[in-house]
Amino acid sequence: MSPLPDPPATTPGETPTQQVMSAFAQTWGTWMESLAARPDTFAGLQRRYFEDQFRIWQQTFGHPEKPGDPPLDKRFSAPEWNQHPVFRYYRDAYLAGSKAMMESVESATLDDETKQRMRFAMKQYLDAMSPSNFLLTNPEALKEAAESGGDTLQKGYANLLADLAKGRVSMTDESAFELGKNVATTKGSVVFENELVQLIQYAPLTAQVYERPIVLVPPAINKFYIMDLQPENSLVRYLIEQGHTVFMVSWRNVKEAQGSLTWDDYIGEGILASLEAAKKITKADKVNALGFCVGGTLLASGLAVMEAKKRSIVESVTLLTTLLDFRDVGEIRVFLDQSFVDKREAQLSGGGIVPGRELASSFSFLRANDLVWSYVVNNYLRGKSPPAFDLLYWNSDSTNLPGPMYAYYIRNTYLENKLAQPDALTTCGVPVSLKRIKIPAFVFSAREDHIVPWKGGFESARCLGGPVTFVLGASGHIAGTINPASKGKRSFWSNAKLGVDPQRWLEGAKETPGSWWGTWSKWLAPYGGRKIKARKALGDARHKPIEPAPGRYVKERAE
């Protein structure tokens, strides 16, 4: 047993952060007990650690050597880290100590779940304790402070106060962007809305369009304009230029009044209502649909409901970085154990809001050096203002979720993986099975995705019952997905034989330079049907334009 007490039974006032920290404290205690139970292993680790530290001291101060090549670590890329012995020692001693601490985690006798959580906890601790994060041990920040006469420190302090007022670390110059002006600028109108969503129809850019439209479903925990940032990297505009009539679901940034909305509401009022509205407006026999991340999970659930109700109005489905099978979810698993889910359910059973800031913070700490500490150093120690970057503006524009919907989602997917089990869930009054979704599917995953590991995306593709085309892109969750065809960047892998083993699939896959968008466009075209004259007017007699795109729902910020 751990020397730390078990966390208390559900405490209404306990925050999610306190719950996670309590779980990490227990894990830390279990790890210490494991090391104490193996004194020979622990002694060997200590001996190697002290030997490494002594060697580094000798090389730096005892018998100084010419500095070698700096480590491939962006935190220590400034030349000052290599030029000055004291700071070189700080760097090398820290890196050696970090290696030893991670080895001590791997050497511990722990079950897989505990070891995964301990790896994460140790990495968070080590990342936070990097000498680059502190003024007195960061030579680059000290040099700039001296050269500026302390001006960088004053600016850094002002940046810190501003971020404390906002409650988050600034990643970009948010004043540089305005929705509808220089992000989310594709022309269109909101043609349908309810308590949960607005549905945007975009204006055509070609004389003829495919008769079947495509409905895009973004993640409910983020704003839709990740697919419409700038004209040159807009997936929306790309589809329109290919002759598709495009509809976009814009999820509401829910407030307390919507705090009792459920998973079924998101399926019925969000997915099904939007698909039906797009079909009616275009008078098409069917529509195509695309889901991104959690939007794909919701979309697949909605399609399963339609199949159960014998209401099949979708011709094809595209899923981008989407999990349906939640066995392999990566490091986010450390946040979502049985205890955490039980407590969150108890707290949210009567309704309430899960702040977007809470969700955004969890994802940021999965890549803490890139998404947290680099900005701490830049903004506070060096007194710099982050540059204007549309992607990071979107990343900071988080969305609230209603408590019952969130609790249902994390229990039935991340914790119990019921969505992947045929008829294990009843949604909108019917048992659902992803295997009954027989329509053609295009499934995209990103090889370096830290939110949806690509092998989890591969297994998710195998949950569907129809023909599946699986494509793997280079880079991560966002950069791999939003990779415009015109840029010719990165590459992707394809293999017509899906099989059952993701690694074997990759070994037999062909790598193609450039974006996967072109390949997907060719796949999608036949499902669009015949070409017809583009409609000049948006909406129809029953779905008249309500307001111009991007609409008011997306402009509500979760501060």
Encode pLDDT of 91-140 as tens digits: 999 999 999 999 999 999 998 888 998 999 999 999 999 999 999 999 99
User: Where is pLDDT greater, at 22 or 174?
Assistant: 174
Active site residue ranges: 293
Residue-wise pLDDT for 216-248, tens only, equals 999 999 999 999 999 999 999 999 999 999 999
Residue labelled with tokens 């892109």: 473
CA nearest neighbour of 169 among 349, 321, 377, 11: 377
Note whether 529 and 284 are within 8 A (CB).
yes
pLDDT tens digits, one per residue of 491-542: 999 999 999 999 999 999 999 999 999 999 999 999 999 999 999 899 999 9
| Backbone φ, ψ for residue 221 (5° rounding) | -95, 5
Residue with the larger pLDDT of the pair 17 and 431: 431
How far is 394 from 33, CA to CA, in rounded Å? 43
Q: Is the peptide bond before 64 cis (omega within 30 degrees of 0)?
A: no
Q: What is the DSSP string of 201-228?
A: EEPP-SSEEESS-EEEE--TTB-GGGGS
CA 394 to chain CA centroid, Å, is: 12
Q: Summarize pLDDT for 129-184 with one digit per residue, the tens.
A: 999 999 999 999 999 999 999 999 999 999 999 999 888 899 999 889 999 999 99
Q: Where are the domains of the chain?
A: 188-332+418-555
Tell me what pLDDT residue 6 has: 32
At position 401, the amino acid (one-letter code) is L
Q: Is the pLDDT at 471 greater than 70, yes or no?
A: yes
Residue 82 above 70 pLDDT? yes
Task: Answer for the pair 306, 273: CB distance below 8 angstroms, yes or no.
Answer: no
Phi then psi for residue 117, to 5 deg, are -65, -40
- Burial pattern 191-224, b for ≥16 Cβ within 10 A else e, equals bbbeebbbbbbbbbeeeebbbbbbbbbbbbbbbb
Q: Cα 46–51–52 angle (5° rounding)?
A: 100
Distance from the Cα of residue 210 to its chain's centroid: 32
Per CATH, the number for 188-332+418-555 is 3.40.50.1820
Residue 274 CB coordination number (10 Å): 28
Q: Rounded to an integer, what distance in angstroms lies between the CA atom of residue 344 and that of residue 259?
A: 14
Residue 38: HSE in the Cβ half-sphere, 13 Å Cα cutoff: 16
Tally of CB atoms within 10 A around 32: 16
Distance CA 197, CA 546 (A): 13
Residue 416: pLDDT band (50, 70, 90) is very high
